[in-house]
Amino acid sequence: MKTVFPLSIAAAMALALTPAMAQKTASQGIDEYRAMLADGNPAELFEAKGEDLWKKARGPKNASLEKCDLGKGPGVVKGVFVELPRFFADTQRVQDLESRLASCMEMLQGFNAAEIAKTPFGRGEMANVTSLATWVSAESKGLKFNLSQSHTQEKTFYEVGKRLFFQRGGTHDFSCASCHGEEGKRIRLQDLPILTKSPGDGLGFAAWPAYRVSNGQMWSMQLRLNDCYRQQRFPYPGFGSDATIALSTYLGVNAKGAASIAPAIKR
């Protein structure tokens, strides 16, 4: 009979649950749970959908996205994910993957990018942007983050992103750094990646888009940031807004050298 789960699981399961070891066992138990889920990530369903959406002629102009320039030239998908956000000459703007996809959907397919930005996550064309981002990210699996800082706007966005990362506010005085400023911390049982430097391969910025098992939804980086801000008790960050892209630039530059595991699976 083929072993279904990694051997480490069997080892973890063999450990006795004694009160003195309860804490250690709890985190081992969580690791075991995550390992069991890693094989068979429903993100694959969204990845397949994204690839289909990229190749299919759609929108008012009945065109595919195959000529979309995500930073490495029209139609190049492999490797772009680990270099975004970056400056784009045609929009004169630093863009992340999702805002760039929306631009391509407007320029090539005739969709209205501003309308897409207003659509709630998980609905209509916004859901399609998420699926597309899932597929594009998967095409860079294992590659290391390496964002450009050569354009002035890229540098400026990094500096603005840094200020946003440390911005305390809201009813709880939280900033991103409240949770992600130190190494080895966690909320409840959830490990928190440090984001002021590279937290390592497949952690933090290198782990989104991810499938969230808690709600069965595919979460893009824009939604990840949106929900961080919600839990920070901050007001609502617009989709593809300069703040979200500046913050992404800060996180992406800091992630330099970290290998991407996106699309990941998360709690």
Partner 1 sequence: MQTRRETLKQSAVLAGLLAAAGFPGFAMAAFNKAGFDAKSVQDATKAFGASSLAESKDVTIIAPDIAENGAVVPMGASTSLPGVKQLLILVEKNPSTLVAAFNVNDAVDANFSTRAKMGQSSDVYAVAIMADGKALWAKKEVKVTLGGCGG
Partner 2 sequence: MKKNTLFVLTGLATALLLAGCATGPSVAELNALTNQIVKSSFRDQSHVKLTRLTETDETNLACSEADVAGKPLDDKTARAIEAVNMKTIKWPSDGKFIGDWKEGEKIAQSGRGLTWSDSATMESGGNCYNCHQIDKKEISYGTIGPSLYNYGKIRGVSDPASPASKAMVEYTWGKIWNAKAYNACSNMPRAGHMGILNETQVRHIVGLLLDPKSPVNQ
Partner 3 sequence: MSDPMRIRAQATGGKATVRVLMSHEMESGQRKDAAGKTVPAWFIQEVTATLNGKQVLSAEWGPAVAKNPFMQFNIKSAKAGDKVAVTWKDNKGETRTDEATVS
Residues serving a catalytic function are 228
φ/ψ of 12, rounded to 5, equals -65, -35
Q: Which two tokens stand for residue 64?
A: 């595919």
- We find the least distance from the C-beta atom of residue 43 to partner 3, in angstroms, to be 9
Give the count of residues interacting with partner 2 (CB under 8 A).
59
**Span of 11-19, 85-93, 168-176, 210-218 interacting with partner 3 by CB under 8 A:** 210-218
- The answer for residues whose C-beta is within 8 angstroms of residue 148's C-beta and 6 or more apart is 83, 86, 87, 154
- We find the least distance from the C-beta atom of residue 127 to partner 3, in angstroms, to be 11
8 Å CB contact between 239 and 222:
yes
8 Å CB contact between 165 and 157:
no
Q: Which two tokens stand for residue 167?
A: 């911005």
**Span of 7-15, 54-62, 106-114, 162-170 interacting with partner 1 by CB under 8 A:** 7-15
When CB distances are held under 5 to 8 angstroms depending on the partner's kind, the choice from partner 1, partner 3, partner 2, none that residue 66 binds is: none
Q: H/E element holding 265? A: strand 264-266
Task: Return the number of the residue (213 or 243) whose C-beta is nearest partner 3.
Answer: 213
- We find the least distance from the C-beta atom of residue 47 to partner 2, in angstroms, to be 25
Interface mask (CB under 8 A) for partner 3, residues 28-57, using x and -? -----------xxxx-xx--xx--------
CA distance from start to end of the chain: 30
Angle value at C-alpha 190, between 22 and 83, nearest 5 degrees: 145
Task: Return the number of the residue (148 or 241) whose C-beta is nearest partner 2.
Answer: 241
168 is a site residue for partner 2 (CB under 8 A): yes
- We find the least distance from the C-beta atom of residue 33 to partner 1, in angstroms, to be 4
Burial of 94 per CB tally in 10 Å (0-12, 13-18, 19+): buried
Task: Return the number of the residue (57 or 189) whose C-beta is nearest partner 1.
Answer: 189
- We find the least distance from the C-beta atom of residue 100 to partner 1, in angstroms, to be 29
Q: How far apart are CA 122 and CA 108, in angstroms?
A: 22
Interface mask (CB under 8 A) for partner 1, residues 32-51, using x and -? xxx-xx--------------
When CB distances are held under 5 to 8 angstroms depending on the partner's kind, the choice from partner 1, partner 3, partner 2, none that residue 49 binds is: partner 3
Torsion of CA 25, 28, 33, 35, to 10 degrees: -160
Q: How far apart are CA 77 and CA 43, in angstroms?
A: 18
Burial of 17 per CB tally in 10 Å (0-12, 13-18, 19+): exposed
Residues that bind partner 1 (CB under 8 A): 1, 4-5, 9, 12-13, 17, 25-26, 29-30, 32-34, 36-37, 187-190, 213-216, 230-231, 267
Residues that bind partner 3 (CB under 8 A): 1-2, 4, 39-42, 44-45, 48-49, 211, 213, 216
